[in-house]
Amino acid sequence: MADISTFSGQFLAALEKKTQWYESEKLPDLQQNYRLLHTCVKNLYDLLIKKSCIKQDPYKLDKKISEVIAPEDTQFTENERAMIIGTRFSDYESMLDFICTYYQFSCSYITLARIKALVALGNSFAWHDFSQNSPKPNTRGLAGMLFTLRQNSDPMTASNISDNLSKCSRASKDINALLKDLSDFQKETYKGLIRKDLFAHSGFDMKKAETSGPDEMQLIRKLYPAVMGKTPFYSALVEEIIKEDHDANKEQIQAAVIAKLGVQEEQKVQKVQKIDTAAMLIDTVHALSAVAPVLGQLCVKIQENHDAMENMHNSFWDKVKRALRQAFKLSDPPLVYQIHITDTATHTDRVEKLDYNEFMAMLKKRVSFYSALTNTANPYYKKIVASKQDAIIDFLNKQFTECQKLLVHLAALDNFFKNMITGKGGVHAKGMKMELVTLKNTIVKANQRRAEYISYIEEEAELKKLGITDVE
């Protein structure tokens, strides 16, 4: 019959191994599933804005997030649907972005309280039962929007919606399963903290604790505030500790607990499986495709600013010139803007000539191109997936370089319009700051995934040079 100290030692040793296994195996899977879910949700959110089903939250970038909070899921009227779902879906996407960007995927960080918050967030939209007849207001409202949009869209857009919904369902199902397992494990971790920290306290009388269950409970309750601080007191879990130490069948209970914390050999074998680097690259392509709706919004604002400038130059002689060109079937002269580019490396300014019509044609072409990268049925997407990894990384390198150049030109164009459209007659330039910030963040996040791939490939090559070939 093992005494409390002996069993506590066995328990903590098994808990440590299980913790290492979770952090090397399960939590990276959880992070990847959240990334997939966020990418798909962002695609759906941007599509709803592009199709004017909802309006972009003007306060989205100003909302500060420090912890995960689930959006409301209360009832609303049909007239309120676009506004309510727009706000709640925007908040949901922001929370997923926060999780993917700032969350620490470690056992010490994802506590029982945080798991509870993550589960609540996951219940905000029931992707596994996504129906217009759902009893959940958020799910019902969003499903109605997307199903209507899918029916009234071209085949490519409809396929894109279906593909993203399918991936949301799969990712959320995996997330829920992982969170359930992690919740069960964190309960054992909580018990481990009591056995490790409280039992080691100088005021804990081990001999008295071994006398009876009530004596052990009394000692735990007495020392808990001083040792555990603000950690909530979970009565049910403390009762489990008492059972493990004093129940008539404690040997069987202890054996079951140790077995529960065991890491099977086949799980250790899985530990050395190679990361799917091709999937990492395709995930990067998906992340990059998220620039499409942002570029689409920028196209609209640039066109509006262009039209405002043209209306400022609509004098009698301007009308005569246009009439003469039409009469003699002469093409319009090139419309060239002189924009100021700031070189961030040298901190110098230069003036560039930008052909408006050529630039807009290029921008619209990019919107169409990046949109195609979200459609698994698109021939170009299939070509990328079938390409060798070196070819995909070359493609991504080129796209990131061009996106950075495009970002510089768009920022310069934004400043150009603000300087040229003076506000006469109540006309003001349509600012593009919000869209430019979103575009920059999207590019940065996608680029981070490319960097993760490159880092892994370089590490793998270095290990092979050292003769370590376990990861193949």
pLDDT at 73 exceeding the cut of 60: yes
* Cα dihedral value 144, 297, 87, 97, nearest 10: 100
Candidate from 52-56, 233-237, 456-460 with smallest mean pLDDT: 456-460
Helix (H, G, I), strand (E, B) or coil at 338: strand
Confidence (pTM): 0.58
What is the predicted pLDDT for the residue at 425?
59
Alpha carbons 307 and 310: distance in angstroms, whole number = 5
Give residue 271's pLDDT: 42
Residue 399 to residue 391: CA distance in whole angstroms: 12
Q: Which of 10-24, 345-359, 372-386 has the highest mean pLDDT?
A: 10-24
What are the pLDDT digits (tens) for 296-319?
Answer: 889 988 988 888 887 776 655 555
Q: Where are the beta strands (DSSP E) in 240-392?
A: 336-343, 348-355
Task: Check pLDDT > 90 for residue 472.
Answer: no
Query: What does the pLDDT look like over 101-114, one tens digit per residue?
Result: 888 999 999 999 99
Q: Is 104 helix (H, G, I), strand (E, B) or coil?
A: coil
Euclidean distance between CA atoms 303 and 308, whole angstroms = 9
Residue 270 pLDDT = 43
Measure the CA angle with vertex 380, ends 379 and 385; round to 5°. 95
Phi-psi region of 383 (alpha: psi -120 to 50; beta: other; left: phi over 0): alpha
To which residue do tokens 């070509």 refer?
Answer: 383
Q: What's the mean per-residue pLDDT of the chain?
A: 86
